Amino acid sequence: MNDESEKTQALADRAPDADLANWRERIWSRAIEKRPERSTSFSSASGLELDPLYGGAPDSGFPGEYPFTRGIRPTMYRGRLWTMRQYAGFSSARQSNERFKMLLASGQTGLSVAFDLPTQIGYESDHELAEFEVGKVGVPINSLRDIERLFDGIPLAEVSTSMTINATAPILLAMVIVLARRQGIGSEKLRGTVQNDILKEYAARGNYRFPARPSLRLTTDLMSYCASSVPQWNTISISGYHIREAGSTAIQELAFTLSNGRTYVKAAIESGLSVDEFAPRLSFFFNAHNELFEEVAKFRAARRMWARIMREEFGAKDPRSWALRFHTQTAGSMLTSQQPENNAVRVTVQALAAVLGGTQSLHTNSRDEALSLPSENAVRLALRTQQILGYESGVADVIDPLGGSPLVESLTDQLEQKALELMAEVAELGGSIQAIESGFMQREIHRSAMEWQRAVESGERTIIGVNKFEVEEPTPEIFKPDAAARDEVMADLESVRAERDDERVADTLAVLGEAASGSGNLMEPIIEAVDAYATVGEICSTLEAVFGKYRAPEVL
């Protein structure tokens, strides 16, 4: 038998029938119990019975079991569909609140908040750097008053909330905690995720404020605080999404994201936390690109790699600490302004990859996002794309349906091997912080982005409507934010300043500055400042006086 035949035979081998039958028996009743819309049995449209799981590669194990190649839960979507979480936020807190309510009424099962750039890097809406940003893309949050308006009429105990925020993550989470208290909701009941992944900002996205090391302190302070006080909150969403959006390959997305995750785990342990105290609340955030099978394999490889890192490298004992839970967003960088209707097809393929790969939650981009903020109709179609996949396509009725495919298993192995090699290079440099400070990660991402662009421009890589099958198109209609939103935001900010107790604000900021100069956890003093209606900008200026401001290295 030649090498190729041996590989084919190895991939064709299945787990012992007795083991597979035993596994089916263990999960069957639990799966039926949790999906009320499929309360009797799972079958195809023609009435053919579907088993929950079919054989996979011999070393891939079973869903819900180490190394989680086939999924982190025994039942996966047989038990519960992924969370359908559309990313939204624009103009003002009031207008974003209206969009949230529309999405929830349309069947969305979780909120995901998009903040404007000044909020993400800690400037008030009337700062000179914010002049051309406010009232447009992302919701501006200046103080607790804006969070009160953003979640008006939305009970925080009943909705899982994700916040894409990093440099100012502790401040925004503090606002949610204070608002929950005012709604009579204990912090232990809050469910959601804060991105809190500052390392990828230095490597790929650029939304930073403080140098890397004090920023890492803020990250671990939030993780430590939540471990004891907000136990259901996912304290970090380690993001490969923005690394991929900046132009990386799938291999780089895996390697740099998991390297960053390794750095956060080390920092949390060094801060005094035990690994099993915080690791079950770690989560990840990945991109879903156009190449269906490579993306499915990427998600499977990520789970397996992280499980081994946590168990073998960090000695985690709790199986929940080994399980890589992740949110997925379809690829914004793959949307085209030419023939924007084609984007709905791209998003469908990307969303299918995320589902076949076993994501825990999903955001689907709107077809018009390459042109403007998404229109309400486009947002609803993006949500309907997920709902059609979940309820009509049948892809959620079998766990890891591509497991055992020679193509997918081979790609999974190759992605893992190549990513491990790149992770070893990062480790040789001293870890993610050193790889960022030296410009290594940035250079690698820039190189891949340039190679992609050259392939598109040369026609080597086809992009429909861009370099092939082009047509003359009329000027499309686009969504435009309310021009009056900026004035509304400014008026609200002035109102807060006029109504609050300035002496209390000054006192809480002084306490925060003293705490930042020491080594204690900063979450409590940040919560006190937020409760006094100190602004995001005032809190960040207080921290910057102690931590300094980050200046990016030149990357050649």
Q: Render pLDDT for 41-53 as a digit per residue (tens, 0 to 9).
A: 688 889 998 888 8
Cβ–Cβ contacts within 10 Å for residue 336, how many?
16
**If you average pLDDT over every residue of the chain, what do you get?**
91
Instruction: List phi, psi (to 5°) of 391.
Output: -105, -20
67 preceded by cis ω (within 30°)? yes
pLDDT score for 27: 62
- Measured from the Cβ of residue 169, the count of other Cβ atoms closer than 10 Å reads 24
Contacts of residue 470, defined as CB under 8 A and 6 or more positions apart, other chains included, come to 338
How far is residue 512's CA from residue 528's CA, in Å, rounded to a whole number? 9
387, 136 in Cβ contact below 8 A? no
Query: Can you give 96-164 as a three-state secondary structure string?
Result: HHHHHHHHHHCCCCEEEEEECHHHHHCCCCCCHHHCCCCCCECECCCCHHHHHHHCCCCCCCCCEEEEE
pLDDT over threshold 60, residue 29: no
Percent over 70 (pLDDT), the chain: 92
What DSSP designation does 194 have? E
Question: In this model, does residue 232 exceed pLDDT 70?
Answer: yes
- Is 555 a residue whose pLDDT tops 80? no
140: left (phi over 0), alpha (psi -120 to 50) or beta: beta
Cβ atoms within 10 A of the Cβ of 281, count? 20
Q: Looking at residue 90, what is its pLDDT? A: 82
Task: Check pLDDT > 60 for residue 12.
Answer: no
Establish if 422 belongs to a structural domain.
yes
The yes-or-no verdict on residue 9 having pLDDT over 50 is no
Q: Which pLDDT band, with edges at 50, 70 and 90, does 58 fall under? A: confident
Q: Is the pLDDT of residue 10 over 50?
A: no
pLDDT of residue 24: 66
Q: d(Cα 374, Cα 99) in Å, to the nearest integer?
A: 11
> Is the residue at 534 inside a domain?
no
The whole-number average pLDDT for the span 372-383 is 90
Looking at the structure of the chain, the number of domains it has is 1
28 or 116, which is more confident: 116
Query: For position 515, what pLDDT does the model report?
Result: 97
pLDDT at 16 over 60: no
3 found inside a domain: no
Return the sign of the alpha-carbon dihedral for residues 384, 386, 390, 395: positive
Confidence at 424, pLDDT banded by 50, 70, 90: very high
In the predicted structure, residue 313 carries a pLDDT above the cut 70: yes
Task: Determine the Cα–Cα distance for residues 95 and 106; give it in Å rounded to an integer.
Answer: 17
- Convert the pLDDT of each residue in 342-369 to its tens digit: 999 999 999 999 999 999 999 999 999 9
CA distance 530 to 174: 7
In this prediction, residues 526-555 reach a mean pLDDT of 93
Model confidence at 38: pLDDT above 70: no
Q: At what angle do helices 342-356 and 292-308 cross, to 10 degrees?
A: 30
Q: What's the sign of the alpha-carbon dihedral 441, 447, 453, 456?
A: negative
- List for the chain the helix, strand, coil content (%; round to 5): 55, 10, 40
Mean pLDDT comparison of 61-65, 155-159, 359-363, highest-scoring range: 359-363
- For 365, the token pair is 């981009």
Where would I find the H helices in 339-439? 342-356, 376-391, 406-428, 432-437
Q: Over 60: is that where the pLDDT of 242 sits? A: yes
Between 114 and 299, the higher pLDDT residue = 299
| Residue 444 in domain | yes
**Rounded-to-10 torsion of CA 312, 313, 316, 317:** 20
Give the tens place of pLDDT for each residue, 446-458. Answer: 999 999 999 999 9
CA distance 491 to 480: 21
Q: Is the pLDDT of residue 251 over 90?
A: yes
Q: Using the predicted structure, report yes or no on whether residue 4 has a pLDDT greater than 60.
A: no
**Residue 537 domain-assigned (yes or no):** no
Per-residue model confidence as pLDDT tens digits over 488-516: 999 999 999 999 999 999 999 999 999 99
CATH at 308: 3.20.20.240
Would the pLDDT of 13 be above 80? no
DSSP-derived 3-state class of residue 327: strand
| R_g over Cα of the chain | 24
Helices 406-428/292-308 angle, 10° precision:
50
Does position 32 have pLDDT exceeding 60, yes or no? Answer: no
Strand ranges of the sheet holding 160-164, from the earlier edge strand across to the other edge? 233-234, 192-194, 160-164, 110-114, 83-88, 361-363, 326-330, 282-288, 236-239
Cα–Cα distance, 99 to 376 (Å, whole number): 8
Nearest to 112 by CA among 138, 134, 137: 138
Three-state secondary-structure class, residue 238: strand
pLDDT surpassing 90 at residue 18: no
| Phi, psi of 343, deg, nearest 5 | -65, -30
Mean pLDDT lowest for which of 24-28, 148-152, 417-421, 532-536?
Answer: 24-28
Q: Considering the entire predicted model, what is its pTM?
A: 0.89
- Residue 511 Cα distances to 61, 210, 433, 506, angstroms: 52, 19, 29, 9
Q: Residue 1: exposed, middle, or buried by beta-carbon count in 10 A (0-12, 13-18, 19+)?
A: exposed
The Cα 161–Cα 529 span in angstroms is 22
Cβ atoms of 515 and 522 within 8 Å: the answer is: yes
Give yes or no for a contact between 496 and 145, defined as CB atoms under 8 angstroms apart: yes
Cβ atoms of 106 and 382 within 8 Å: the answer is: no
* Domain span including residue 256: 76-458
